[in-house]
Amino acid sequence: MSQKPSYRIARVAIAILSFLFIVSATPDAIASPKVLRYVKPAHDWQKEAMPIGNGRLGGMIFGGVSKEHIQFNEDTVWRGDEEDTGSYQAFGDLFVEFGAGGKSATKETSYRRELNIDKSLHSINYNKDGVHFTREYFASHPANVMVFRFSADKKGAHTGTISLKDAHNGMVKTADNKIMFSGKITSQHKIALSYEAQIIVLNEGGSLKVVDNTILFKDCDNLIILLTGGTDYLNQRKKGWKGEHPHKRLTDNLAKAATRSFDDLLNEHIKDYQKLYNRVTLNLGTTPKDVLKLTTPERLTAYRGGALKQQKKKKTELAPLNLKDCRTEPGLEELLFQYARYLIISCSRSGCLPANLQGLWNMSNRPPWRCDYHSDVNIQMNYWFVDQANLSECFTPLSDWLYSVVPVKREATKKKYGVRGWAHRSENGIFGGQSYKWVPGDAAWIMQNIWDHYAFTLDEKYLKTRAYPLLKELCEFWEDFLKEDSDGKLISPKSRSPEHGRPAEGNSYEQQLVYDLFTNYIEASKELGVDAAFRKKVESLRVRLLGPKIGKWGQLQEWAKDIDNPDDMHRHMSHLIAVHPGRQISPTTTPVLAEAAKVSLNARGYGGNAWSKAWKISMWARLHDGDRAYKMLKTMIHGNFYNNLFAHYSVFQIDGNFGYAAGVCEMLLQSHLGKIHLLPALPDAWPSGKVTGLRARGGVTVDMEWNEGVLTKYRLMSETPKKVIVRINGEDKTVVTDKLIKTGAMNEMSDSTIYRHTNSHRVEG
């Protein structure tokens, strides 16, 4: 029987993988290069095009041979105001059409499209009409431009046209070697942002000429296009959210970049990117060389060929993993982890707006869910892994944004509830406007991220100026807002468990988040040595909070009343926040509640959106069940990544990418309970491996290696050496950290401390 070629390739790949995985996997193996590969241009924006970004400017590249299309964004291009969330907008499109007045009759050969995430460099290569063509694309953070180079191994090989399109149909102007567009995006309530985009075309050889608002290039050896754009958005309410018109800034910016060579811009970009990216290496086992040659879609197919069958809606505890289900390609699992790091570096740098539902990339003026800042899991998930994965600099957009919109939220909260402080609704924009349901717990949830950033970095200035004032004010909100139930317990008044059930009083979502907020506030005020009286007040409120309850089928209750339905597999798991990202429930501190959390998590099954599956990885990891966490990870790879590795359910949503990375971090390292737990949820599928540069709370950097499921080497580093408690192979030890800059050997484990990792259901002592 004949098989389709792609099917045959996948079968061969699976065979190679299965064989090589059994004989390989040594901890000394070098992590595989991180490259996404394709042999065809992209046709579908969300499934195939390649993202690049510098935190603020982003491009999606299609890579067509006769017509290149680069759709681009800038993070402040928003419609909205203080009353209306509005939505993130598309910005524009750049088209480069090749061939003088028509397509060439010959077809290209050896087409390769690659995104090298070790370098943050996209490239395309192909042969056509006896010429080898190369294209390179990157988005430079230091130079604040996107750079595209088209080159060939034969002189004069480039002839065609370049054009620019405004996504809001503004006027496009062309002069000499520049094209630009500008306009205004108006909202219903006064705010009208001015925007502008510009490109400059630099040619080597041949000529450029303006024809009908396009630039005609003729017989050029190489072409470089620099693109920049922006708006007059300013994250300051007092200034009406607007600064200067972007024209001068962009013009100067582009002129400066145009004086520099391509290599100079590229080297500066790679250096800037790798300063962040190179901090973490991850090796989960050896990836066979042959697999690295496969295209990304082939790798996904191969991986999925050996993956688990999709779980049916089955409510019972699942059988232990079959070993053959674990025989897979660790390189793809590593790649997805590093890809999340690539994406956050590309869409969330300091001075920018935070990563929205699609990070930075959006092709529509009416995007799904407004491409906004959803606060009932999504924006929080975007930032869970950032500090863990040693990218603390990428966190500041979140705290800056929150700080800027709180004054608007404060007024809206006063109007809605008549209390101090601030709360908000679940859909949020960049001017403080909001929509959808009021869910006061959402704000406490974001504050969890805000506190954690301090816990990881110990940045006192950040704590004093950003985190602490926000934490304190939110505690005041809850001091006013909580009410007493008939047993004298403090409960949240009628509110929601996100996207689920009817509004109720004392639902676990808010009870747990308020507990978490109060805990974080108490620690913050102690750190700064301030507000002792208010701290006491908060402590007294915390002990009176209605706590987690175990219901009639052994579950952790989602509502104050025991009404949970064991067949309900809703994607949200708001009543398990105390397990992750909170720290109220854990197998070591509250084993009985942790067992109930397992019952509830089991009931939620293996399904859900990309973000829901990603969250379950972290939850199972926090419950110290590495194999279950891994099974979720595999299920997610099985069904929730497009060929360009964007996470999706029915549409692309970047929280899945970022939540996946958070899950991997939680499996390898946890530090939320005052000690550093190495390999808390190592699955059998990763028997040997090595990670360097992960971060633990307390400003500690961790390198470690493991073999046959046992930690064999580790090194802990911090700015100044200090004592920390580390849980290693089932035992707590007090260890003095090395100074961060110190290089050198990791500590070897002695035989007496080695214990074999047997299965996922081990109980911590």
Binding footprint of ligand FUC on the chain (CB under 6 A): 357, 369, 374, 376, 378, 499, 571, 609, 611, 653
H helix count then E strand count, the chain? 18, 35
Least distance in angstroms from the C-beta of 499 to ligand FUC? 4
**Closer to ligand FUC by Cβ: residue 653 or 670:** 653
Helices in 279-395 by DSSP H: which ranges? 289-293, 296-305, 330-347, 378-388
**Closer to ligand FUC by Cβ: residue 76 or 382:** 382
For residues 431 and 406, give the distance between their C-alpha atoms in angstroms, rounded to a whole number. 10
**Closer to ligand FUC by Cβ: residue 453 or 571:** 571
**Closer to ligand FUC by Cβ: residue 170 or 433:** 433
Least distance in angstroms from the C-beta of 587 to ligand FUC? 28
For residues 459 and 452, give the distance between their C-alpha atoms in angstroms, rounded to a whole number. 11
Nearest to 441 by CA among 425, 430, 420: 425
Residues near 551 by beta carbon (within 8 Å), at least 6 away in sequence: 557, 562, 564, 596
| DSSP-assigned letter for residue 750 | P
Q: Dmax over Cα atoms in the chain, in whole Å?
A: 84
Least distance in angstroms from the C-beta of 340 to ligand FUC? 17
Least distance in angstroms from the C-beta of 609 to ligand FUC? 5
- Position of minimal CB gap to ligand FUC: 369
Length of the chain: 765
Least distance in angstroms from the C-beta of 598 to ligand FUC? 23
Distance from first CA to last CA of the chain, Å, rounded? Answer: 57
**Closer to ligand FUC by Cβ: residue 272 or 427:** 427
Least distance in angstroms from the C-beta of 438 to ligand FUC? 14
For residues 554 and 565, give the distance between their C-alpha atoms in angstroms, rounded to a whole number. 12
Helices in 356-488 by DSSP H: which ranges? 378-388, 396-417, 441-457, 460-462, 468-481
- Judged on CB neighbours under 10 Å (0-12, 13-18, 19+), 218 is middle
Least distance in angstroms from the C-beta of 646 to ligand FUC? 14
Q: Do 277 and 341 form a contact (C-beta atoms < 8 A)?
A: yes
Least distance in angstroms from the C-beta of 427 to ligand FUC? 8
**Closer to ligand FUC by Cβ: residue 301 or 380:** 380
**Closer to ligand FUC by Cβ: residue 358 or 688:** 358
Least distance in angstroms from the C-beta of 78 to ligand FUC? 17
For residues 14 and 327, give the distance between their C-alpha atoms in angstroms, rounded to a whole number. 10
Q: For the sheet containing 669-670, what is the strand order?
A: 669-670, 676-678, 723-728, 731-736
Q: Which helix (H) or strand (E) holds 669?
A: strand 669-670
**Closer to ligand FUC by Cβ: residue 571 or 727:** 571
Least distance in angstroms from the C-beta of 576 to ligand FUC? 15
Which tokens in the block code for residue 729?
Answer: 């192979």
**Closer to ligand FUC by Cβ: residue 615 or 620:** 615
**Closer to ligand FUC by Cβ: residue 333 or 376:** 376
For residues 80 and 77, give the distance between their C-alpha atoms in angstroms, rounded to a whole number. 10
The count of other CB atoms within 10 Å of the CB of residue 188 is 12
**Closer to ligand FUC by Cβ: residue 117 or 636:** 636
Least distance in angstroms from the C-beta of 649 to ligand FUC? 7
